[in-house]
Amino acid sequence: MTVQGSTPVARKKIAGHVGFSNLPNQIRRKSVKDGFQLTVMVVGESGLGKTTLVNTLFNSQICAPREVPHPAADRPTTVAIENIQADIEENGVRLRLTVVDTPGFGDFVNNSTSWNPILESIEQRYEAYLQQEHRVRRTKLVDNRIHACVYFIQPTGHSLKQIDIEFMRRLHHRVNLIPVIAKADTMSEEEILDFKERILSDLAFHGIQIFQAPVYEDEDEESIQEAEEIARAIPFAIVGSENFVRTRDGRMVRGRAYPWGVVEVDNPEHSDFGLLRKLLVRTNMEELREHTNNVLFEAWRTERLLAMGFTQDPSVFQEVSPADELHQQRELHEAKLAKMEAAMKEVFREKVEIQEQKLKQSEVELYARHKEIKDALDKQREDLLRKRAQLEAGGSPDASRKKPFNFRG
């Protein structure tokens, strides 16, 4: 059965019970309709076992069986970035798992730009998602973004190599980084523990952030234990194998046979492979998806829009409580009322002033008229008084000319 480019449904449990059908109900209900979808990328130096891990993850039955090459023949190397996809179904719940296999670097003398195709691929996927978001009809978004990047570290037992540091420094703010120690079967248990510590301190020293598997205290005992186990084991010590071998006690297991015994892929005592698989498809699947969408993609989008000359108004993202909004609206309304009142008062004052002016004017006119009449009356009175005085003085020169009172003729 081949999977490259196609999406066969493997209606079998991969290496026993994976457990995504046991996810909390709330998450399940949300995802059950369309199924879960997760995209994982494997990155690292050439020959560290990326392709082998992908095949181990999907189980050899899902992937195309590889021809066993002659020991003298060249090892097959991955030449292009390729998707391997499978729908896994468990108790009626679907998981569409896509693993992106990348060609290893380290083959070239100059590795300084070897991260470019990887970064480009990650950003192109963001770009494709952004374009869909910008469409008017956004009913069905196809999410091909990388939710997790499994980074392979050579089992040197020393510290991280310069190329690892350079690579992870460029990747960590674009993708959830999950560092793994490749071919852990080549190291002893103590060496692995020691190497894990050294890797973590190197990463911290260089400020490289890897995916932090959270432990939620309010979950049941078993889940907390599992989450703690996963968080403690990072960077995972990985053993991959597509082959089944017979153990000394006669079991057929996926593993690697050595003269001294068999290293079993699915045995937690031998390899952290099981924990890596649990982290990806069960315990932290939702966190990987959420962190990719809410943090990494958002940061990329902001950088992208800024580069295009858009600035974002941060106030549009501020949450407004309805009470605050009501309060603000009331204040605005009150300010508007006060302004209207002030304008009305002004109009009123102007009208009053005009009326007062008019009144004053007519008062002046009235006074002038009053004075005129008074003057005329005063004059008349004076005349009369003068005439009376003349009459009283008698013998007035014109008194004889005055007609008697009852003169009729």
Ligand X SMILES: Nc1nc2c(ncn2[C@@H]2O[C@H](COP(=O)(O)OP(=O)(O)OP(=O)(O)O)[C@@H](O)[C@H]2O)c(=O)[nH]1
> Which spans of this chain sit near Mg ion (rule: CB under 5 A)?
50-51, 78
83 binds, among Mg ion, ligand X, none (CB under 5 to 8 A by kind): none
Comparing CB distances to ligand X, the nearer of 52 and 98 is 52
CA distance 48 to 76: 12
Comparing CB distances to ligand X, the nearer of 67 and 221 is 67
Query: Under a CB-based contact definition with an 8 Å cutoff, are residues 46 and 77 in contact?
Result: yes
How far is Cα of residue 230 from the mean position of the Cα atoms in its chain? 26
| Strands of the 236-237 sheet, one edge to the other | 9-10, 82-90, 93-101, 36-44, 148-153, 177-181, 236-237
Comparing CB distances to ligand X, the nearer of 199 and 227 is 199
Query: Under a CB-based contact definition with an 8 Å cutoff, are residues 38 and 85 in contact?
Result: no
CA distance 221 to 77: 44
Contacts of 291 (CB under 8 A, 6+ apart): 176, 211
Comparing CB distances to ligand X, the nearer of 50 and 196 is 50
Instruction: Give, to the nearest 10 degrees, the angle between helix 116-134 and helix 162-171.
Output: 10
Q: What are the C-alpha distances in Å from 48 to residues 12, 75, 153, 202, 242?
A: 28, 12, 8, 20, 14
What is the closest distance, in whole angstroms, from the C-beta atom of residue 37 to ligand X in the complex? 24
Comparing CB distances to ligand X, the nearer of 19 and 47 is 47
Comparing CB distances to Mg ion, the nearer of 179 and 203 is 179
**Helix (H, G, I), strand (E, B), or coil: what is residue 144?**
coil
Query: Under a CB-based contact definition with an 8 Å cutoff, are residues 54 and 86 in contact?
Result: no
Q: Where are the beta strands (DSSP E) in 121-227?
A: 148-153, 177-181
226 binds, among Mg ion, ligand X, none (CB under 5 to 8 A by kind): none
* Per-residue tokens: 318: 């501020």
What is the closest distance, in whole angstroms, from the C-beta atom of residue 258 to ligand X in the complex? 9
Taken in order 251, 252, 255, 261, the sign of the CA dihedral is positive
What is the closest distance, in whole angstroms, from the C-beta atom of residue 47 to Mg ion in the complex? 8
Closest listed residue to residue 235, CA positions, set 272, 284, 204: 272
33 binds, among ligand X, Mg ion, none (CB under 5 to 8 A by kind): none
* Per-residue tokens: 361: 């004017």
31 binds, among ligand X, Mg ion, none (CB under 5 to 8 A by kind): none
Closest listed residue to residue 283, CA positions, set 9, 66, 22: 22
185 binds, among Mg ion, ligand X, none (CB under 5 to 8 A by kind): ligand X
Comparing CB distances to Mg ion, the nearer of 105 and 129 is 105
49 binds, among Mg ion, ligand X, none (CB under 5 to 8 A by kind): ligand X
What is the closest distance, in whole angstroms, from the C-beta atom of residue 152 to ligand X in the complex? 7
94 binds, among ligand X, Mg ion, none (CB under 5 to 8 A by kind): none
Q: Where are the beta strands (DSSP E) in 247-369?
A: 252-258, 261-264
Comparing CB distances to ligand X, the nearer of 85 and 102 is 102
CA distance 299 to 104: 27
What is the closest distance, in whole angstroms, from the C-beta atom of residue 48 to ligand X in the complex? 5
Which H helix or E strand runs over 14?
none
**Helix (H, G, I), strand (E, B), or coil: what is residue 10?**
strand
What is the closest distance, in whole angstroms, from the C-beta atom of residue 20 to ligand X in the complex? 25
Comparing CB distances to ligand X, the nearer of 60 and 390 is 60
What is the closest distance, in whole angstroms, from the C-beta atom of residue 117 to ligand X in the complex? 12
Interacting residue ranges for ligand X, rule: CB under 6 A? 46-52, 75, 77-78, 103-104, 183, 185-186, 239-240, 256
What is the closest distance, in whole angstroms, from the C-beta atom of residue 146 to ligand X in the complex? 17
What is the closest distance, in whole angstroms, from the C-beta atom of residue 46 to Mg ion in the complex? 7
What is the closest distance, in whole angstroms, from the C-beta atom of residue 106 to Mg ion in the complex? 12
46 binds, among ligand X, Mg ion, none (CB under 5 to 8 A by kind): ligand X
Closest listed residue to residue 353, CA positions, set 361, 365, 342: 361
144 binds, among Mg ion, ligand X, none (CB under 5 to 8 A by kind): none
Comparing CB distances to Mg ion, the nearer of 153 and 227 is 153
SS3 content of the chain, % helix, strand, coil (to 5): 50, 15, 40
47 binds, among Mg ion, ligand X, none (CB under 5 to 8 A by kind): ligand X
